[in-house]
Amino acid sequence: MRDGKKVLVDESFISPKLQQAQNRLEAEGVAATLLLCAGTFANLHGTQPVYKPFDIGCSVLRALNMNSIGLITPIPGQEVPIRNRWEALGWKTTVWSADLEHQDQAFHQELNTRIDKFYLDCIVLDYVGHPPAQVMELQGSVEQPVIDLGYLSMVVLANTV
């Protein structure tokens, strides 16, 4: 929200509304759609390309042979569904909620503990909308690649349309 509050909306509730919007946009002539959410939205489709951060992230992680991933979400209630969807596709995961705005000593201690304990190949930001400065701060603090699903999707879209 504009005031910084987060609002949770179930994918099952929003999916039909997104499909209606997708259909309307394509009728108006859009060439491609970028979903600005890291959910799966498996049933969202179009006659033009629909770029989904989760799908793009999966493809990139497979191409890079990343097997053990650390997933960070800003919303604690999303930890279980995030773990489930990534593990269902074969990744070894550890998931935790953290606010990238507060990358303090406790944040880095938890991050490094998980990197060491789970032998993480990379860190995945399973959320769309992190400010670039916060992502860059995180990238500069670890040796492992940090994959920001939102940014990655924008780059893919920009290079394919």
Average pLDDT, the chain: 93
pLDDT of res. 8: 76
Tens of pLDDT along 109-149? 999 999 999 999 999 999 999 999 999 999 999 999 999 99
Q: What is the CATH number of the domain that holds 88?
A: 3.40.50.11230
Query: Within 13 Å and on the Cβ side, how many CA atoms surround 97?
Result: 9
Q: Is the Cα torsion angle 143, 145, 150, 152 positive or negative in sign?
A: positive
Model confidence at 69, pLDDT cuts 50, 70, 90, reads: very high
Among 149, 141, 77, CA closest to 111: 141
pLDDT of res. 11: 87
Count of the separate structural domains present in the chain: 1
Among 129, 122, 120, CA closest to 153: 129
Instruction: Write out the DSSP string of 48-98.
Output: S-EE-HHHHHHHHHHHTT--EEEEEES-GGGHHHHHHHHHTTT-EEEEEE-
pLDDT of res. 65: 97
With respect to residue 125, please indicate whether it lies within any of the assigned structural domains: yes
With respect to residue 12, please indicate whether it lies within any of the assigned structural domains: no
Model confidence at 44, pLDDT cuts 50, 70, 90, reads: very high
With respect to residue 49, please indicate whether it lies within any of the assigned structural domains: no
Q: How far is 8 from 28, CA to CA, in rounded Å?
A: 29
Residues 60 and 77 sit within 8 Å (Cβ to Cβ)? no
pLDDT of res. 9: 82
With respect to residue 102, please indicate whether it lies within any of the assigned structural domains: yes
Q: How far is 114 from 135, CA to CA, in rounded Å?
A: 18
pLDDT of res. 33: 92
pLDDT of res. 1: 72
With respect to residue 26, please indicate whether it lies within any of the assigned structural domains: no
* Phi, psi for residue 149 in degrees, rounded to 5: -55, -40
Domain residues for the domain of 113 are: 66-152
pLDDT of res. 7: 74
Residues 124 and 61 sit within 8 Å (Cβ to Cβ)? yes
Q: Is the pTM for the entire model greater than 0.95?
A: no
With respect to residue 34, please indicate whether it lies within any of the assigned structural domains: no
With respect to residue 108, please indicate whether it lies within any of the assigned structural domains: yes
Model confidence at 161, pLDDT cuts 50, 70, 90, reads: low
With respect to residue 123, please indicate whether it lies within any of the assigned structural domains: yes
